[in-house]
Homo-oligomer: A and B are copies of this chain.
């Protein structure tokens, strides 16, 4: 998507993973819902009931896409909140069965941090052991291969061990695009009686929604809906126990914004309507991008070349600082993401890339929006080699 701004007349935004511009229909839906659904959906009067109907309608529409029942779909304040609540409430609901949590090593930080917290290694200031059991508990990160795919046999063995409260496997890795073997792991988990949490935050809206889950988290901000609302589906058969102070809505204490929820649902319906066409189109662009970038010296094109998200492409450049490369590309009008660059004070290398055993620095992630054009990808491919060279020169490794 091109943005015309005074300083950068032809801006190209290629960092649409986890936060994409709103789908135009989401904006329309928000406007409509703000008029009809500003009231508190818990109130009894006409305005309250109208807001409640919009909220129920949003959950129903999302449920239809996810292959869930409406009452299985909960709205949360964010994708991070979905993952926190899913892990903590499922672990608390299964305390009698065990306290171990099995998760791939490349799950999102939010999920791994919730697992550490639920399994008793939580934030020290938080005061210890929220799961409360006397049994020792732990998180078992299951290794991945060099493409970022979890070792299915290892994960299945871990899930089948005694004392497992919860297993977690993402549908696809949002940093590198690799799809995970959720069906095989779900089969094994089901046999073992262990619920499987599937983080589909990077995939819903881009590829078909998997059926292999007991809890499924999805991210409106990733599919062209708003940030500020998350989605968590929990099969009715799964036993959960809310963690935290009591509230009418344990998944979003105080409730969520009804207009945001409605906009999220409308965006999801809209992107599902032409998902297959967009999948094909963007897969071709990503293949072109991966092929072009692989010609740059000392680059590693990251993630599975085939079993992958159609819109994500990731590269790691030797002798390059990721933050410097993002900044250099930004100066030339291209917004990209990086697994090794963020604004937080602790610039830690990506745990995903580290788990894969690939270069953790000099990393660039591209996530194409539905509006990204072939021309924009071509222009990026034309600019990238020079940007890499300039950053290498700044770091004094230009001659390598």
Residues of A within 8 A of B (CB): 3, 5, 8, 11, 13, 15, 18-19, 21-22, 27, 34, 38-48, 52, 77-81, 84, 87-88, 92-93, 95, 110, 113-114, 116-118, 122-123, 125-133, 226-230, 241-248, 252-260, 323, 326-327, 329-330, 335-338, 341-344
Least CB distance from A112 to B in Å reads 9
- Inter-chain CA distance A222–B53, complex, in Å, is 22
B78 touches A116 (CB 8 A): no
Q: A43-B343, A84-B244, A125-B241 are in contact. List 10 more A-B contacts (CB 8 A).
A: A38-B227, A44-B323, A45-B336, A77-B78, A77-B252, A78-B252, A80-B253, A110-B254, A116-B245, A127-B129
Given known contacts A227-B258, A247-B113, A38 and B15 CB-to-CB distance under 8 angstroms:
no
* Contacting residue for A330 out of B45, B114, B259, CB 8 A: B45
* Contacting residue for A38 out of B19, B92, B110, B343, CB 8 A: B19
* Contacting residue for A228 out of B8, B11, B88, B260, CB 8 A: B260
Can you sample 14 A-B contacts with CB below 8 Å? A5-B46, A15-B45, A22-B38, A42-B344, A77-B256, A78-B253, A92-B126, A92-B127, A117-B245, A127-B133, A227-B257, A228-B228, A228-B256, A229-B257
Residues of B contacting A117 with CB < 8 Å? 244-246
The residue on B at minimum CB distance from A79 is B254
Residues of B contacting A52 with CB < 8 Å? 343
Residues of B contacting A77 with CB < 8 Å? 77-78, 81, 228, 252-254, 256
- Inter-chain CA distance A129–B42, complex, in Å, is 30
- Inter-chain CA distance A218–B256, complex, in Å, is 16
* Contacting residue for A127 out of B27, B131, B254, B341, CB 8 A: B131
Residues of B contacting A40 with CB < 8 Å? 15, 18-19, 227
Given known contacts A43-B343, A227-B258, A247-B110, A125 and B242 CB-to-CB distance under 8 angstroms:
yes
Residues of B contacting A228 with CB < 8 Å? 77, 228-229, 256-257, 260
B22 touches A253 (CB 8 A): no
Given known contacts A128-B132, A131-B127, A245-B117, A343 and B42 CB-to-CB distance under 8 angstroms:
yes
- Inter-chain CA distance A11–B43, complex, in Å, is 16
A342 touches B42 (CB 8 A): yes
Given known contacts A46-B330, A257-B228, A95 and B127 CB-to-CB distance under 8 angstroms:
yes
Residues of B contacting A21 with CB < 8 Å? 38
- Inter-chain CA distance A258–B226, complex, in Å, is 10
- Inter-chain CA distance A12–B125, complex, in Å, is 49
Residues of B contacting A41 with CB < 8 Å? 343
* Contacting residue for A125 out of B93, B118, B128, B260, CB 8 A: B93
Closest 8 CB pairs of A and B: A228-B257, A80-B254, A127-B132, A78-B254, A125-B241, A77-B77, A45-B335, A19-B40
Given known contacts A44-B343, A126-B130, A78 and B246 CB-to-CB distance under 8 angstroms:
no
B253 touches A110 (CB 8 A): yes
- Inter-chain CA distance A40–B13, complex, in Å, is 12
Residues of B contacting A253 with CB < 8 Å? 77-78, 80-81, 84, 110
